[in-house]
């Protein structure tokens, strides 16, 4: 496999970096060449966070070029929009439906776009889009903080990744603290089933 590129976009406090680490470690477990990078780590709550995970023999640089993402994992609708430059017709966009309006919008009294508007813009780039009520599924798992893991479960279920689901689960078990593990495993399974059962 030459290369497979994932862009993860969210805001600080959403676990974007942990999600990237899990995918990166899973690729290592499968014996694949991988590069993980954090583009601008405004990892305080509310700041934009973008991570790249690049898997494959041809991968040397850690960052992805515009239009080259195979998957755009959007933890927040507006951040997904901001990173559409990485998308093309081949890109699968998986996006959490829950909006976290950035402070600059509130300060400038700019209206946050509706979910329909966001989806419309994504459709200009690609038809492959899965919108997930990640917050709802995370609460069902037992913690609103597991939305990142719900989205990884969704990604695993699409079978687009060149990484085995078992390897993702192993990486999850290694990187998530033991006391939070059960909730995170449940979140992963809920995300996975969401796709497998046809998004009910």
Secondary structure letter of residue 166 according to DSSP: H
- Is the pLDDT score of 200 beyond 50? no
Helical H segments across 30-164, by residue range: 77-82, 103-108, 115-125, 134-141, 147-158
Give the mean pLDDT of 92-106: 87
Please give the angle made by the CA atoms of 183, 7 and 50, to the nearest 5 degrees: 80
Whether residue 175 contacts residue 138, with contact meaning beta carbons closer than 8 Å, is answered with no
Question: Helix, strand, or coil here: 189?
Answer: helix
CA dist 151 and 125 (Å) reads: 21
Cβ atoms within 10 Å of 174's Cβ, excluding its own: 12
CA dist 33 and 2 (Å) reads: 10
Structural domains of the chain, ranges and CATH numbers in brackets: 4-196 (3.40.920.10)
138-185 pLDDT, tens digit each: 999 999 999 999 999 999 999 999 999 999 999 999 999 999 999 999
8-38 pLDDT, tens digit each: 999 888 999 999 999 999 999 999 999 999 8
Cβ atoms within 10 Å of 106's Cβ, excluding its own: 10
> What is the reported pLDDT for 91?
98
CA dist 68 and 91 (Å) reads: 8
Give the mean pLDDT of 122-134: 96
- Is the pLDDT score of 90 beyond 70? yes
> What is the reported pLDDT for 7?
97
| Average pLDDT for the chain | 92
- Is the pLDDT score of 101 beyond 90? no
What is the pTM (predicted TM-score) of this model? 0.93
Nearest to 6 by CA among 154, 106, 113, 145: 154
Q: Is the dihedral of CA 98, 193, 38, 84 positive or negative?
A: negative
> What is the reported pLDDT for 182?
97
22-81 pLDDT, tens digit each: 999 999 999 999 999 986 545 455 688 899 999 999 888 888 999 999 999 999 999 999
Nearest to 50 by CA among 66, 32, 34: 66
């Amino acid at each position: 496999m030459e290369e497979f590129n994932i862009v993860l976009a969210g805001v600080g406090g959403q676990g974007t970096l942990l999600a990237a680490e899990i995918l990166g470690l899973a690729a290592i477990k499968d014996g694949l060449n991988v590069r993980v990078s954090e583009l601008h780590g405004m990892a305080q709550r509310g700041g934009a966070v973008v991570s790249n995970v690049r898997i494959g023999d041809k991968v040397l640089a850690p960052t992805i070029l515009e239009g080259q993402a195979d998957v755009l994992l959007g933890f927040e609708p507006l951040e997904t929009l901001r990173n559409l430059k990485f998308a093309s017709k081949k890109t699968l966009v998986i996006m959490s439906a829950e909006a976290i309006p950035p402070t600059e919008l509130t300060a400038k009294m700019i209206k946050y776009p509706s979910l329909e508007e966001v989806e419309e813009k994504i459709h200009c780039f690609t038809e492959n889009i899965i919108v997930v009520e990640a917050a709802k599924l995370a609460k069902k798992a037992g913690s609103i903080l597991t939305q990142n893991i719900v989205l990884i479960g969704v990604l695993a279920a699409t079978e687009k990744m060149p990484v085995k689901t078992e390897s993702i689960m192993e990486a999850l078990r290694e990187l998530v603290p033991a006391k939070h593990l059960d909730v995170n495993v449940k979140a992963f399974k809920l995300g996975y089933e969401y796709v497998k059962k046809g998004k009910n």
